Structure 1
Amino acid sequence: MGEISCSNGNGVGNGVNGKSTPALTGETQYQDIALLDTKPFGKALVIDGKLQSAEVDEFIYHESLVHPAILHHPNPKTIFIMGGGEGSTAREILRHKSVEKVVMCDIDEEVVEFCKSYLVVNREAFSDPRLELVINDARAELESRKEWYDVIIGDLADPIEGGPCYKLYTKSFYEFIVKPRLNPGGIFVTQAGPAGIFSHTEVFSCIYNTLKQVFKYVVPYSAHIPSFADTWGWVMASDSPFTLSAEELDLRMKLNIKGENRYLDGKTIASASSLSKAVRKSLDNETHVFTEGTARFIYGYGSALKHNQA
């Protein structure tokens, strides 16, 4: 990364009421990154112009991404994270007592180091001996590894044209790279972009439909994240059914998770997959399959795209 700078330029550090606050900014080989100091949401991590997480409510996103899949697995020991450079996903995974090994594979070492330096909340996770940090493209890493995983988690940036991640949302990637690296009964879960009444058609519905082409059981679910100003979506997939009740999920949390969740309990997990009528109908009618040639993108700007246009 180039030199980290403190900037108020171009409104990047704008706080509430139009007042500008300092921002740590930098540019890596793959992405632009900024850590903004906002009044309503605390420190906010922004990559390629997209808000990734905010200090005040990031727990909603990361608990929702991590815990449903791990809790539904009967004995989760090995976990692979695609992306996750911020460290919050690893933090939540490592709260599970059964977990013996977590591989976090992020393509951008400079983003990881940036987050290590400035996001104090995740320092314990980065120092946990169960965490193996790998700097590589997740596709190449999964292809080269000779081990299998109980849960694979996609904590990737949104599919942005010119960004480094959109190829990791494709049918071929799910079918030929992800699924073969899962143990029997394994579960895959990915963040799937905005899932609001209007925004879900950007990528959420087609990621869901794409995973339906690959896995037998696919569950879309969502939660409102205030700092995103929208409902957010995730999709969980497996060839084994998801059968746990809210009470069974609560029992597994009590037995297996260190500390209390701030957002999730069994009822919350169960209700998260109860999408609105309009969104359910839209997902049922979705026919688009995400491929490299037919990718859908959402608003943003990738460093690679900017450089290609320069």
Structure 2
Amino acid sequence: MGEACEVNGYYSVMEAPKCNGDVQAHQMELRRQCCWYEEEIDVDLRWSFALNSVLHTGASEYQDITLLDTKHFGKALIIDGKMQSAEADEFIYHECLVHPALLYHSNPRKIFIMGGGEGSTAREILKHRSVEKVVMCDIDQEVVDFCRRYLHANREAFRNQKLRLVINDARLELAESREKFDVIVGDLADPMEGGPCYQLYTKSFYETIVKPKLNADGIFVTQAGPAGVLTHKEVFSSIYNTIKHVFKYVQAYTAHVPSYGDTWGWVMASDQPILLDAKQIDKRIEERILGELLYVDGRSHLSSTIMNKCVYNSLIKETHVYTEENARFIHGHGRAYCH
């Protein structure tokens, strides 16, 4: 029997294979078995990553934090046992979250990020020449400090003079702010039961706090959870329908994120029409953005707004409105284990 290795409160004991006389093969088999991160997607479905090592673990007042070095996706940030981003493909999530909203806006200057402690959302926003001020409000100082220390790709964003970092509840910070913003970005953790974020997906929050803090031509965008054929009814369709009750123009779009093992969804909304064709989007990318985007361009964004028949039908038929009393939650947690 192997030894148990506990990471973030989850642990597993794995039985060592019997030695067949080939010591080297036996050792390779042990290494193959003993270093994995495992995320429970559903009660009968798990998603696993082979690890090189567990780089760091810690816990804040609000959540558990782990940084893993995975064999397939590079460094991966895990919050409360759920994959937040991986080095190899985080650009897909963050480009999709940020750039469509800022490109559709005529002149985005002031941006508010709800969450975003990792720094990647701020990094993408700061690529836009027009941006003058970014307020990033995350509730968890330990997560921000952790990401500043370990996620080297975002160090320049944290040092940028345009970035104002606030440690606070985004609901309270927005409610008390005297400023209005051109774009408000919801880079929040998934709504999980008992988690700190689910109230920031509710109709009352969008209606009484987010919308009043947008300028007249302002745009709101939020990550909206898994959007695959088998997972889009967890929260994606509900978040979309909820935002439709608050804003006049609403656009849902999706992209596959390999490290999530699923298609992911975002919802963008405004009281002004959200209309650009592919050539207009590409022109704005060329004129406005410093550097080159890796994922988003005009054609890819417009194609991402076209849902397959299954998801499309669910979106138009959804009746659930997300409230504090009638919330939906995403299932699952994760664990890293070693022999």
Normalising by structure 1, we get a TM-score of: 0.93
Question: Using the alignment, how far apart are the partners of 2:208 and 2:51 within structure 1?
Answer: 49
Larger Rg: 2
Equivalent position of 1:245 in the other structure: 277
2:228 to 178, 196, 216: 196
Counterpart position of 1:14: 36
CA positional deviation for 1:13: 5.4
What's the offset of the Cα at 1:22?
Answer: 2.3
Q: Which amino acid aligns with 1:285?
A: K
Partner of 1:95: 127
Residue type at the aligned position of 1:263: Y
1:181 aligns with 2:203: no
C-alpha deviation, 1:23, in angstroms: 3.7
- Deviation, 1:21, is 2.5
Q: Matches of residues 127-276 of structure 1 in structure 2 within 5 Å? A: 127-276=159-308
Partner Cα distance (1:151, 1:220) in 2: 16
Unaligned runs of 5+ in 2: 1-5, 13-33, 38-47, 335-339
What is the identity, as a one-letter code, of the residue corresponding to 1:106? Answer: D
Cα 1:171–1:205 shift into 2, 3 Å: same
Q: Does 1:118 align with 2:150?
A: yes
Whichever structure has more strand as a proportion of its residues is: 2
**Equivalent position SS for 2:293:** coil
Residue 132 of structure 1 aligns with an amino acid whose one-letter code is R
Structure 1 unaligned spans of 5+: 1-5, 303-310
Once the two structures are TM-superposed, the CA of residue 7 in structure 1 deviates from its matched residue by 5.3
Partner of 1:305: none
Q: Which amino acid aligns with 2:254?
A: S
Change (3 A) 1:14 1:74: same
Q: Would you tell me which structure has more helix in proportion to its own residues?
A: 1
Could you say if the C-alpha distance between residues 13 and 187 of structure 1 is closer, same or farther in structure 2, counting changes exceeding 3 Å?
farther
Residues 217 and 270 in structure 2, CA contact (< 8 A), matched pair in contact too: yes
- 2:78 is matched with which residue? 46
What are the Cα deviations for residues 168-227 of structure 1, in whole angstroms up to 9, with x where unaligned? Answer: 000000000000000011000000000000100000000000000000000000000000
Q: Which has the higher contact order (CA 8 A, sep 6+)?
A: 2
Task: Tell me by how many angstroms 1:74 deviates.
Answer: 0.2
Q: Secondary structure at the match of 2:329?
A: coil
Structure 2 counterpart SS, 1:71: helix
Is residue 26 of structure 1 aligned with residue 48 of structure 2?
no
Give the letter for the 1:80 counterpart. F
Root-mean-square deviation (CA, aligned residues, Å) is 1.9
SS at match of 1:10: strand
Please give the TM-score of this superposition, normalised by the length of structure 2: 0.85
Give the direction of change, closer, same or farther, for the CA distance of 1:96–1:13 in structure 2 (3 Å limit).
farther
For the Cα contact (< 8 Å) 1:79–1:151, is it kept in 2? Answer: yes
1:33-58 deviation line (CA, Å, top 9, x unaligned): 10011000000001011100000000
Q: How do 1:35-74 and structure 2 match up within 5 A?
A: 35-74=67-106
Q: Contact 2:225/2:264 (CA < 8 Å) preserved in 1?
A: yes
Residues 224-253 of structure 1: CA distance to partner in whole angstroms, max 9, x if unpaired?
Answer: 000000000000000011111000000000
CA contact (8 A) 1:194 1:202 kept: yes
Cα distance between partner residues in 1 of 2:98 and 2:268: 10
Question: CA 1:164–1:17 in structure 2 vs 1: closer, same or farther (change >3 Å)?
Answer: closer
1:106-163 C-alpha deviation (Å, 9 max, x unpaired): 0000000000000000000000000000000000000111000000000000000111
Supply the distance in 2 between the matched residues of 1:229 and 1:25 (Cα, whole angstroms).
Answer: 23
